[in-house]
Structure 1
Amino acid sequence: MAAFFKAVNAKIRSNPALSYLCSTHFWGPASNFGIPIAAVMDAQKSPELISGQMTFALTIYSATFMRYALAVTPKNYLLFLCHFINEGSQLTQGYRYLQWHHWGGREKAGVHGAVEEAKEKAAAVGDKIKEVASK
């Protein structure tokens, strides 16, 4: 049985394309592509949902592993591409976060006033409910 597995492994390793597909140089970045895909999808959501700390951490993480992907031998261009896309996505999210929370995006969108208005309406409705319930 061990001889069979040795023969199959030798056959796989003799073909460069199959050898690459069966290596961690392929499956590591392939499984890691969920992070940049999620970041790209999050670009469609409201900027008030963005975590500034997490975005900063993921920006540093991607920059570090972009460097690592080119430092290993052989160079792992798929890993570099994965983190390059994630770096761009996180920088975009970081800009959206700063725009929304620190550069007046919330005020320009009128959300702050709308939230206060909704709170006032909810309080008025609560008062009316109390009036009706007390009768």
Structure 2
Amino acid sequence: MPFAVDFDTVSTVGLRANEARYFKNKYDHVFTVEPASDAGSTVDWVSRILEEERGIVIASRPLEATAFQVENILIVYVFYDNGLSINVMYTVEDSGKRAVGFKLSDGMEAPAELASFKFARQKSKLAGTIRGSYFVIKNEY
């Protein structure tokens, strides 16, 4: 069952506060997640993009996922048990921008399958120091 991520009174259950605050402030969207076991098609879609675009297979187990559309952008997140967050921002129009983003939790080392990426640091009041990277999607999904 999906549940809203609370960023006002930050809880430890389903904590995705950094993303929840961003989407609430920018798009007035309530960020909800569901167990990955209930979001198989979402997890599979992200896995397919990673494998077909870059040959990446994430070794960690997916815990939660979400998929929603704001304006003309399909946004998908998968959160893994090692602290990795992967998001896909996929503009609906044929000529739109599309990318996959990776975020590493505070203190997390990059998983071996992402060793070729350079990660930039970002400070978050809700999530500590986040490191992130991305790549542009070239094909249609």
- TM over 0.5: same fold? no
Q: Report the structure number with the largest CA radius of gyration.
A: 1
Higher RCO, 1 vs 2 (CA within 8 Å, ≥6 residues apart): 1
Name the TM-score class by shorter chain.
under 0.3
Higher helix share: 1
TM-score, with structure 2 as normaliser: 0.20
Higher strand share: 2
